[in-house]
Structure 1
Amino acid sequence: MYSTKNNLLIGFHGCDESIRDALLTRPHYIHKSERPFDWLGHGVYFWENNYDRALAWAKDKARRGEIKKPSVIGAVISLKHCFDLLDNQFIDALVTYYNLMVEYYNTIGKNIPENKDAKFDKFKDKLIRELDCAVLEFMHQKISEKIEKDVRENGFSTFKNFDSVRGVFTEGGPAFEGAGIQKKSHIQICIRNPNCIKGFFLPRKEIEFQ
């Protein structure tokens, strides 16, 4: 019962300025990422309460020529039914689905995807997460299939599709010599159900208040 998170939180999405402006004026214009290496599976990605990290990510994309003008848009989010990888029960569940996926892939003669290093990443943080993405998407598919089967046979299901996925990541190399703290550590949110996004806003700079 603790998978339901009804509280609101702030997320920041790094993107091109054109995407930011489109989301502000047309908030239903939401592009879902479906790349095979998405860290938390397919969905809309946000840095949890981390504007600076979102902007740095967008600037990195601009330096590689992937976007033109780096920008950030904020969002008010409810995670709702969340697959939270900061909670051990969900990590244990993911291991179970990984084992099922390995068994299935072996049956059909398909190679298991692997997490790989990006060419530009000198810290070798396995930024191309094809394995993680595949396991999460396999899990979501199996849950959806179970729900459809239950509804077809019984008229209802006790299973629910997850609205969001949340995970913590450490990357970017040590913050200082000998540190266990990494420079780019963050909490990332993947929104699968767009109804979790309550609204977008243009982040503003803090001013002195007296």
Structure 2
Amino acid sequence: MKNHLILGFHGCDEETCKKLINSSNEFHFNRNPYDWLGHGMYFWENDVQRAWQWSLEKHRQGKFKQPAVVGAFILPGNCCDFLNSKYTMKLAGYYMKMKRNYGIIPQNTDVKSDPYKDKLLRLLDCSVIEYMHEQMGVLQEKEKQQLGFILTPSFDTVRNAFLEGASAFPGSAIKLKTHIQICVRNPHNILAFFRPRLKPALDLAA
């Protein structure tokens, strides 16, 4: 369990930003088959500029009428943190089980517009993570029937770091779009939404 607060930033359109801030029940649960950390609401951890960059990219693509960023105070709770080998090993085990059960499973694929070939469509990762959540749910049901209570808690959040984009300089392993994402599955772990005062830097808007 993680009891410290995380500052997260979510790129969105202006209308969505207003709804999230003004409504205590508003929550955006993504269910795309290619989401990097499975289903839930996504935030850039401690990186408002990266959230602005993503929102501006969506605006240039015509997907957002007016780009915006909303901030959130997030309590990670029971976090599946892939920066901890305990959880990456756990996920690897679910991958093997899923492969045995299904045989053919989806693969991560590239987006044609991405010159860095970062496999931006994470179909495999999303499938395995969702399979993990599903199997944990099956175990919880067995525990409830056999014991009368649940021993295995669900994950409130999923977290990981990603290397992405061009090298910071020639020969560097540091990437310009490297970031930490947190995917919130339990809306109760978002304590509050707010509007950041920091506006996008000129180089991100270019």
TM-score, normalisation: structure 2: 0.94
1:145 to 138, 143, 146: 138
Structure 2 residue 198 is the aligned partner of structure 1 residue 198: no
SS in 2 for 1:165: strand
Shift in Å at residue 149 of structure 1? 1.1
Shift in Å at residue 63 of structure 1? 1.2
Deviations 1:45-77 (A, max 9, x none): 000010000000011111111111111000000
| Structure 1 residues not aligned, in runs of 5+ | none
SS in 2 for 1:40: coil
**Worse-superposed segment, 190-199 or 24-33:** 24-33
In proportion to residue count, which structure has more strand? 1
**CA–CA separation in structure 1 for the residues paired with 2:178 and 2:60:** 21
SS in 1 for 2:78: strand
2:100 to 103, 109, 120: 103
| Structure 2 residues not aligned, in runs of 5+ | 200-206
**CA–CA separation in structure 2 for the residues paired with 1:27 and 1:201:** 12
SS in 2 for 1:57: helix
Deviations 1:70-110 (A, max 9, x none): 1100000000000000000100000000000001102xxxx
1:34 to 20, 31, 35: 31
- Corresponding pairs, count: 199
Aligned to 2:42: 45
Deviations 1:136-181 (A, max 9, x none): 0000000011001110121123211100000000001101111110
Give the letter aligned to residue 139 of structure 1.
Answer: M
What CA RMSD, in Å, does the superposition of the two structures yield over aligned residues?
1.0
- Identity within the alignment, %: 46
Structure 2 residue 63 is the aligned partner of structure 1 residue 66: yes
**Worse-superposed segment, 149-158 or 46-55:** 149-158
**CA–CA separation in structure 1 for the residues paired with 2:2 and 2:155:** 11
Aligned to 2:155: 162
TM-score, normalisation: structure 1: 0.93
Within 5 A, what are the aligned runs for 1:176-191?
Answer: 176-191=169-184
> Runs in 1 of length 4+ with deviation above 4 angstroms?
none
1:16 to 2, 13, 21: 13
Give the letter aligned to residue 94 of structure 1.
Answer: L
Aligned to 2:109: 116
2:79 to 71, 82, 96: 82
Give the letter aligned to residue 90 of structure 2.
Answer: A
**CA–CA separation in structure 2 for the residues paired with 1:97 and 1:195:** 27
Give the letter aligned to residue 133 of structure 1.
Answer: C
Within 5 A, what are the aligned runs for 1:121-132?
Answer: 121-132=114-125
